[in-house]
Amino acid sequence: MTFFKQISSVVSTNLRSLPQRYATSSVVVIGIAGVVAVLIAVLSLSTGLAQSLTATGRPDRAIVLHTGSNSEVGSSIPHEWIATILQAPGILRGQDGKPVASAEMLATVNVPRRDNGLLGTLTLRGVSPQVFELRPEAKLVDGRMFRPGLREVVAGRATQARFKGLGVGDRVKFGDNEWTVVGAFDSGGGAHDSELFGDLETVLSAYNRTSVNSVTVKLDRPSALDSLNALTKDPTLQLVVQREPAYYEQQSQSFARFLTVIAHFVGAIMAMGAIFAALNTMYSAVSARTTEIATLRAIGFGSGAVVASVLVEALLLALLGALVGAFLAWLFFNGNTVSTIAGNQGVAQIAFKLRVGPDLVAVGIVWACVVGLIGGLLPAIRAARLPVATALRAG
């Protein structure tokens, strides 16, 4: 009998005996399912955020920040620099001859959450009147645009879904200032759906600010970023210019790295427990089948086939656990809306949906197979080294 036929025969025998070892085998499945479910759940945070930020950045837009700033949150551009920025070459002009751009200021405000009534934080973004021309993917879907000079805001759909009192016509208080929600907009799942937009000058006045966080502009041609980079060489300014997709990719990568480290750290701790469970289960399986394994060895089955059969059983249990864990992660987390903390990892607060896709399931399966392989290796070697005569006499 060839080596592979031997493996096939022993594996089929092992699998037929699984119902009799249901209790011990389920320990491995449950342990690995827990590891995979937690791992995928944490990684789905970075996937969901990355997709939300990707939907926000467009290659025909560029963002201008203060030199040394990695994000809008940490950037501060004096108000008097805005006019110089908007006169730079490479910026698209609208039909009225004005640059299609938006100088923007971020403020964190507290609003009651819908789910528990407790105060939650969201971002109020002061924007220029051209904001919807600059971002055509964002469209008013209810009410009207805010009017310059008045304390009026338009709310992103994701913001309205998560917070109370942000319906069109509602009045909401931020600190000592009362604002009226006059409209709602939808940016197709982008990060700005988690924000409120208000008139820049009004927001600056309300918060006693004299600087903005960023200036976003629309480029008049694909290569216009080179022309816009002239701003970085102006000795009277201290600015850095990035194309929007590059900026948002940078923001998502920093957050993704943080979450990936957390996910693998927690996963590794849980995996240790799952490995011990697998070791115990497979050792029990080998002990219960000592006579059977010895008999197979006596009639000509090689030790390699026995090792392979035990490993295959461990891997199959691990794979089953991975599928169960992935299903639980998808069932309980996929599509749920969560949000970052305002200013966390350099980005304004963003609400986004968790994404459990095939890529994360594949990561979970790899982890499960590694756990199963480690958990089954020592019991497999023990099974192969069982002295045939001793095992038969013990049986």
Query: Which tens digits make up the pLDDT trace of 156-167?
Result: 998 898 899 999
Q: Cα–Cα distance between 195 and 209 in angstroms, integer?
A: 19
Per-residue pLDDT reduced to its tens digit, 225-257: 988 999 999 889 999 999 988 888 787 776 667
Per-residue pLDDT reduced to its tens digit, 157-196: 988 988 999 999 999 988 778 999 999 999 887 778 889 9
- Global pTM? 0.68
pLDDT score, position 10: 60
Q: Is residue 209 part of a domain?
A: yes
pLDDT score, position 18: 60
Where do runs of H (alpha helix) occur along the chain?
A: 3-16, 22-56, 82-86, 131-134, 157-162, 200-206, 224-228, 244-288, 290-298, 303-333, 358-385, 388-394
DSSP β-bridge partners for residue 63: 216, 242
Q: What integer is the mean pLDDT of 117-128?
A: 89
* pLDDT value at 274 more than 80: no
Q: Cα–Cα distance between 99 and 118 in angstroms, integer?
A: 41
Residue 229 and residue 257 in one domain: no
Taking CA atoms, 385 is separated from 294, 301, 306, 375, in Å, by: 10, 13, 10, 17
Of 101, 125, 107, 120, nearest in space to 196 by CA:
125
Instruction: Work out how many domains the chain is built from and give that number.
Output: 2
Q: Is residue 281 part of a domain?
A: yes
Q: What integer is the mean pLDDT of 45-51?
A: 74
State percent of the chain over pLDDT 70.
76
Q: Residue 120 sits in which domain range? A: 68-237
* pLDDT value at 213 more than 50: yes
Per-residue pLDDT reduced to its tens digit, 279-323: 776 666 666 555 556 565 565 556 666 677 777 777 888 888 889
Taking CA atoms, 382 is separated from 134, 185, 301, in Å, by: 68, 65, 15
- Which residue, of 173, 203, 237, is where some domain finishes? 237
DSSP β-bridge partners for residue 352: 338
pLDDT score, position 26: 78
Q: Cα–Cα distance between 254 and 337 in angstroms, integer?
A: 20
Q: Cα–Cα distance between 100 and 233 in angstroms, integer?
A: 22
Q: Cα–Cα distance between 306 and 308 in angstroms, integer?
A: 5
Residue 90 and residue 7 in one domain: no
Q: Is residue 12 part of a domain?
A: yes
pLDDT score, position 345: 43
- Which residue, of 237, 265, 296, is where some domain finishes? 237
Residue type, 256: A
Residue 270 and residue 379 in one domain: yes
Residue 101 and residue 219 in one domain: yes
- DSSP symbols for 337-365: EEEPPTTGGGS---EEE----HHHHHHHH
- For 103, the token pair is 């100088």
Of 351, 65, 355, nearest in space to 190 by CA:
351
In degrees, rounded to 5, the angle at the alpha carbon of residue 325 between the alpha carbons of residues 319 and 329 is 145
Q: What integer is the mean pLDDT of 104-123?
A: 88
Residue 116 and residue 86 in one domain: yes
Q: Is residue 316 part of a domain?
A: yes
3-state secondary structure 248-284: HHHHHHHHHHHHHHHHHHHHHHHHHHHHHHHHHHHHH
